[in-house]
Amino acid sequence: MVELLLVVIMVTIIAIIGAVAYGSFRFQNLMAAAEKVTADLRYAKNLALTTNEWHGAAFQPAPANTYNLYLTDGTNDTVIHDPEDPGRDFYVALSNLYHGITINAVDIGGGQAVEFNPLGVPYTDQNGSVLTANGTITLSDGGTMVTIIIAAETGRIYIQ
């Protein structure tokens, strides 16, 4: 009887440790996805600063869960090449990289894209207006959410 009780206690402890570790993994997966999106937005901003050309990012929330980075002249948007694989366009299917992560909502001046001018200032569109309110991109793993902020006027990009 004592041996059976010990086995039950050990199985319970292992189950608790497993549940905590799984929850931690899900949060780390969500934060990794948020860091990826943040880094890619900063890359688009830095391209605008260094090339003296407008660059942007366009998001397609769930169910698509995708985004791409592009160069724009105000009329035509051309998807840029991925610096990790120059033969491939910079198109990210977030669900494929981070299982279970979705782009819940995007609100960038009422739209789903942001464009950075050569000074790094965020606009809703090259022909539109500068962001006057923070832009937000919300990611979720089903239960937990994290928001990426694009600060109005300055273009500071951070995770909240």
Binned average pLDDT, 10 residues per bin, the chain of 160 residues: 78 67 71 97 97 97 95 94 92 92 95 95 89 95 93 94
Cα separation, 42 vs 150, whole angstroms: 10
SS3 of 9, please? Answer: helix
* DSSP category for residue 108: B
Contacts of 94 by beta carbon, 8 Å cutoff, 6+ apart: 33, 36, 37, 65, 66, 67, 101, 102, 103, 139
Distance of CA 74 to the CA centre of its chain: 24
Q: Is domain 2-159 annotated with CATH 3.55.40.10?
A: yes
Residue 63 pLDDT: 93
Mean pLDDT estimate for the chain: 90
In the chain, what are the domain boundaries? 2-159
Can you name the residues that pair with 113 across neighbouring β-strands? 58
Residue 22 pLDDT: 56
For the whole model, what pTM was predicted? 0.84
